[in-house]
Structure 1
Amino acid sequence: MAKAKPAKSTPAQVVAGVETALLQRFARREAKAYAKAHPKSKARMGEAAAHYLSGVPMHWMTDWPMPHLAVIAKARGAVIQDIDGHKIDDFCLGDTGSMFGHSPAPVAKAIRAQATRGLTYMLPSDAVAEAGRLLTKRFGEMRWQIATTATDANRFAIKVARAVTGRPKILVFNGCYHGTVDDVMVELVNGVTQNRQGLLGQFTDLTPGAVAVEFNDLTAVEAALAKGDIAAILTEPVMTNSCMVLPAPGFHEGLRRLATKYDALLMIDETHTLSSGLGGYTGVHGLSPDMFIVGKCVAGGMPTAVWGMGEDIARRYEAANAARAPGHSGMGTTLSANPMQFACLVANLSEVMTAGAYAKMEKGAERLSRGLSKAIRKAGAPWHVARVGARVEFICAPRPLKNGTEAGLAHHHSVEAAVHLGLLNRGSLIAPFHNMMLVSPVTTNRQIDHLIANFTDVLAQLFPALKVD
């Protein structure tokens, strides 16, 4: 009887350098450990589920990579504490909203004082002039407006750009994120702009009003602008809401040159890049936008966004506004520009968002970046680390990314979710939708080193060949 031939061995399935079977075992262990450690949070979210859509107060909270949400009892500095008693080093920081730490003392003081004087009354408070002066000092000569969210600020700025140019289209970069602004929810597929896949309830074709090109591709930008129907380029200085993509040398200078050449506005959204340094990426690198948008952390965590325009654009806007038919402009929200926002803007811009604070953040972020990079090298993982100011990100790809398409391909949800949960179980929280970590002025070296140690330990589980010192 002939001997049976031995079965051919098949290569293990691998995702981002991690064997799939090993990844699945790790993820199951971490999920079990999390559930065991958070019984009170599980019970509380179970009670809440009877009242909220999908069991959560904001639908995207279901994207957190844990079996159920942790319920937070309090947060202070760069630490959050859940109702199960776990103190967690917070590198998510409200995904930028609390970039300077939770409830900075000057902002908390301003909130307490303003709370006794009224929360909102559709008229300016005495702090309005000082807030305007500080905005100009920090971000440059602009004519400012106050909104509640960066989504609103971007939406309003887009309307102004179209009004002053008489053109319909906004140029954005494939994979960008400017809040939930319908107008620019487009992507590039096989070189063609189309509505982003997955938009809920979107029935209108968005492409008559938007065009997408790849980040860092000035040739594509010029080809789009040359058609003469683009009102503005709307860009983040660094692509951030996917895997982080840094601008190539000369890219932003090229955008400014091309916008001027083709009479389009250059709009810079700094909502995620205020981490770059004092004045944001625009201030640090001397960019010259026609319009400037920033939200999230500008008022120390109080829901606030600001958007502004240069003097020439302001004059053109005022002329267009004067010439329009009477009726609703389609811009503005009742609770925006409330006195609490002005109180917090003054406190944050004058006492929290300082050169000294950024120096601490930069130093800590560099420490974190070096530590994560060392852990990746030791593990032999095909990953790398990117940093912009106080913003650090590990990316599950071997080399820096050039555009949104590469950023999309570098996302490996199963790997990232497992790493996030592993870090949380070990006492470190990072942003849920990508691999971003923020270092605040009050983040300590101990917290940074703890995160590095936790990351090293997680990699030891995913890459068993890792030798830990």
Structure 2
Amino acid sequence: MIDRDRLASLRADEEERFARGHPASADLAAAADRSLLAGVPMPWMTRWPGRFPVFVESAGGARLTDVDGHEYVDLCLGDTGAMTGHALPQVTEALATRAGAGITTMLPSPDAIWVAEELARRFGLPAWQLAMSATDANRFVLRFARHLTGRPRVAVMDWCYHGTVDETLAVLDGDRVVPRPGALGPQVDVAVTTAVVPFNDAEALDRRLAEGDVACLLMEPALTNIGIVLPEPGYLDAVREITRRHGVLLVVDETHTLCAGPGGCTVAWGLEPDLLVVGKPIGGGVPVAAYGMTAEVAGRLSGPMKGHEIDVAGVGGTLTGSALALAAVRATLSTCLREEDFAVAIPLAEQFTAGVTEVIERHGLPWHVQRLGCRAEYWFCPPPRDGAAAAAAVDEELEGFLHLWCLNRGVLLTPFHNMALLSPHHSAADVDRHTEVFGEAVAALVAP
């Protein structure tokens, strides 16, 4: 229903508007090209709309200001890393205090006990360890699973994302397991290391796990990185029954699905994982992650974890569990991501969903809005039921235009998604502003 020539013309206009409005970012981008590979400190920063990256001057709460002085309603929030809001005073104070008393010592700090007990309270799993990122945490738990079961393979969902873990960068091509498109120099042959099954297909999971070579299933309760794909009724119960029947450990990655509530989908939906990973949000912006496990799993791991050669076991990192990171987690979890915080953020996501839905219906478009807790996203199709359908529905031209249109009008969405993350720092007016801007973009697209 979208005139592609009109879309291209509108996109070109927005590119010009972006370039005119961001001269300081343009100058910095040119300078960055001389010393930074791809002109950015991390490659996916090139995925933002516009001819060059926007350089940030400051961020606070739910606002971001660039070097050209433009202020944005930030609906990206560091792609969940700043889910609690930017520049939290309590985290800033904790970091300053801790830095003055030593940042890293390779010894435990008292905050470690508080953090572990709080994570146990929130998620219902009694034993915890720290990591630098959810990628690391996922990598570690896959090692644990292979060690505990003696099985060589791990299982993931088709078109999943669990960070840069080599075994998880795999998709299905018919019945074959192949590297995910875009994976550079795969370290391992995913056809050997990994089983891949479609999301929302319990029968396919049962058939694959029946082969008896899978140590664990690593999954998000709802897909997020390929777009929000929600589980169908009864699916997650079936996953738990199937994994138990086949002796496969269930690992739930709550790094993004923590948006469902203080205990993520695990608590909101009554899940019973053997191990759980949670990353970015818990540190208030400081790099940190954690992984928890049942008492049974912890008991089986306690011997190896105390072994003489644990430092070369492929688990750890010198700066992991630093006093600084634990101070940040304690400051964050003691004041953020609580029931009262989600009681503000989730209704804002509901308002976002309702506003976008009204625009879509007014113009008679076959689009859809998907919501998970305080996270919402619009699709240019009916809601997909698995990762392959979600990947097939990606419309980079349309997504790029809408992102750039919003950015040029002071609204920042998550790059390579149509996704908004709401926090207690946002307001109803912020949501209304996005609805207004989104409505204007759609009206421009469908104008006769």
Shorter chain as denominator, the TM-score bin is over 0.9
Which of 390, 400, 419 is equivalent to 1:407?
390
Report if aligned partners of 1:243, 1:410 keep a CA contact under 8 Å in 2: no
* Residues 321 and 353 of structure 1, relative CA distance in 2, 3 Å threshold: closer
* Residue in structure 1 matched with residue 183 of structure 2 by the alignment: 199
* Residues 268 and 110 of structure 1, relative CA distance in 2, 3 Å threshold: same
> Normalising by structure 1, what TM-score?
0.93
* Residue in structure 1 matched with residue 66 of structure 2 by the alignment: 82
Query: 1:438 and 2:394 equivalent?
Result: no
Amino acid at match of 2:96: R
* Residue in structure 1 matched with residue 168 of structure 2 by the alignment: 184
* Residue in structure 2 matched with residue 448 of structure 1 by the alignment: 431
Secondary structure at the aligned position of 1:289 is classed as coil
Report if aligned partners of 1:423, 1:454 keep a CA contact under 8 Å in 2: yes
* Residue in structure 2 matched with residue 146 of structure 1 by the alignment: 130
* Residue in structure 2 matched with residue 278 of structure 1 by the alignment: 262
Report if aligned partners of 2:116, 2:128 keep a CA contact under 8 Å in 1: yes
Deviations 1:352-399 (A, max 9, x none): 1211100000111111110011011112222100000000000111x2
* Residue in structure 2 matched with residue 30 of structure 1 by the alignment: 14
Report if aligned partners of 1:106, 1:352 keep a CA contact under 8 Å in 2: no
What displacement does 1:135 show? Answer: 1.1
Amino acid at match of 1:405: A
What displacement does 1:74 show? Answer: 0.4
Comparing 202-211 with 108-117, greater Cα deviation is found at 202-211
Report if aligned partners of 1:242, 1:408 keep a CA contact under 8 Å in 2: yes
Query: Following superposition of structure 1 onto structure 2, how do residues 249-264 of structure 1 map, counting pairs within 5 Å?
Result: 249-264=233-248
What displacement does 1:191 show? Answer: 2.4
What displacement does 1:327 show? Answer: 6.9
Amino acid at match of 1:87: E
Secondary structure at the aligned position of 2:129 is classed as strand
Distance 2:321 2:227 in 1: 33
Identity in percent: 38
Query: 1:161 and 2:142 equivalent?
Result: no
What displacement does 1:198 show? Answer: 2.5
Distance 1:233 1:262 in 2: 11
Which of 33, 36, 40 is equivalent to 2:24?
40
Q: How many residues align?
A: 448
What displacement does 1:141 show? Answer: 2.4
Query: Following superposition of structure 1 onto structure 2, how do residues 333-352 of structure 1 map, counting pairs within 5 Å?
Result: 333-352=317-336
Secondary structure at the aligned position of 1:112 is classed as helix
Report if aligned partners of 2:83, 2:281 keep a CA contact under 8 Å in 1: yes
* Residue in structure 2 matched with residue 357 of structure 1 by the alignment: 341
What displacement does 1:333 show? Answer: 1.0
Which stretches in structure 2 are left out of the alignment for 5+ residues?
none
What displacement does 1:301 show? Answer: 1.3
* Residue in structure 2 matched with residue 417 of structure 1 by the alignment: 400
Report if aligned partners of 2:167, 2:188 keep a CA contact under 8 Å in 1: no
Report if aligned partners of 2:159, 2:180 keep a CA contact under 8 Å in 1: no
Deviations 1:332-366 (A, max 9, x none): 11111001111111111111121110000011111
Report if aligned partners of 1:268, 1:291 keep a CA contact under 8 Å in 2: yes
Secondary structure at the aligned position of 1:18 is classed as coil
Which of 81, 96, 103 is equivalent to 2:87?
103
Distance 2:45 2:406 in 1: 18
Which of 361, 364, 373 is equivalent to 1:389?
373
Distance 1:324 1:374 in 2: 61
Comparing 171-180 with 60-69, greater Cα deviation is found at 60-69
Distance 2:262 2:40 in 1: 36
Secondary structure at the aligned position of 1:95 is classed as helix
Which stretches in structure 1 are left out of the alignment for 5+ residues?
1-16
What displacement does 1:291 show? Answer: 0.3
Amino acid at match of 1:101: G
Deviations 1:102-122 (A, max 9, x none): 022221221121121121111
Report if aligned partners of 2:209, 2:246 keep a CA contact under 8 Å in 1: yes
What displacement does 1:254 show? Answer: 0.7
What displacement does 1:204 show? Answer: 3.5
Distance 2:255 2:25 in 1: 31
Which of 162, 173, 195 is equivalent to 2:157?
173
* Residues 266 and 203 of structure 1, relative CA distance in 2, 3 Å threshold: closer
Distance 1:49 1:35 in 2: 17
Distance 2:173 2:24 in 1: 45
Comparing 338-347 with 188-197, greater Cα deviation is found at 188-197
Amino acid at match of 2:138: N
Comparing 419-428 with 198-207, greater Cα deviation is found at 198-207
What displacement does 1:437 show? Answer: 0.4
Secondary structure at the aligned position of 1:80 is classed as strand
Report if aligned partners of 1:277, 1:389 keep a CA contact under 8 Å in 2: yes
State the Cα RMSD in Å.
Answer: 1.4
What displacement does 1:317 show? Answer: 1.9
Distance 2:306 2:147 in 1: 11
Which of 298, 307, 312 is equivalent to 2:282?
298
Amino acid at match of 2:277: I
Report if aligned partners of 2:176, 2:191 keep a CA contact under 8 Å in 1: no
Secondary structure at the aligned position of 1:421 is classed as helix
Which of 204, 212, 226 is equivalent to 1:242?
226
Report if aligned partners of 1:218, 1:255 keep a CA contact under 8 Å in 2: yes
